[in-house]
Amino acid sequence: MNTTPSATDRAYEYTKDAILTRRYGGGDLVSEGDIAAGVGVSRTPVREALLRLQAEGLVRLFPKRGALIVPVSQQEIDDVIETRRLVEGFTTERAAGLAEAERVALVDALGSYLDVMRAHVATDKRAFVVADREFHRAIIRAAGNQVLIDLYETLRDRQLRMMEEGARTVERLRANIDEHAAIMDAIRDGDGPAAREAVRVHMDAAGAMLGARR
């Protein structure tokens, strides 16, 4: 079985990473030729990759000119936070209702991600963010809805490019750990309403960090 990424997939991953890490900033106009040169492919797979990214709302294509990197708007921030609140409130409450053995296994996994977050809170923000994402991903997967799993991945990608590096202060990250611990404790206790409320508190804090209106 051939698992080598196609030229289109490579162009897609290259461009998406550049957008999410803000190497391509909001409002930049990027040509197909620039991307093709960066990836080492022809323009045809780049064009196909850009169509995928346009469908995800990350770029807007202008024939013969290139791709405009769609700037982050306040409305997008508000929408992403609101949708995460709905998705994760539901899935976390469902996770709290799992059978005890399933909850124990989930809480063990969540605890391991919290340990990573604590270990890297002041030294490695990238490792912290990866563990943060895995924490939420584990809960959503435990809820067992593939559509919501896919939606979560899209939401986290979009949120990544909204985050200004300076917002991730050590103080804020430590508060983030406490919020995650509250979510984990509610799941451990099998307390659905408390789990949903812990998610609301966490999402409100995320919205405030991103500058979302309340």
Q: Quick one: pLDDT band at residue 167, thresholds 50, 70, 90?
A: low
213 pLDDT higher than 70: no
Share of the chain above pLDDT 70, in %: 94
User: Which helix (H) or strand (E) is 206 found in, with range?
Assistant: helix 192-210
pLDDT tens-digit series, residues 65-116: 899 999 888 888 899 999 999 999 999 999 999 999 999 999 999 999 999 9
Structural domains in the chain, sorted by start:
7-69 (1.10.10.10), 74-210 (1.20.120.530)
Among the listed residues 137, 143, 49, the one whose alpha carbon sits nearest the alpha carbon of residue 98? 143
The torsion angles phi and psi of 146, rounded to 5 degrees, stand at: -65, -35
Model confidence pTM above 0.75:
yes
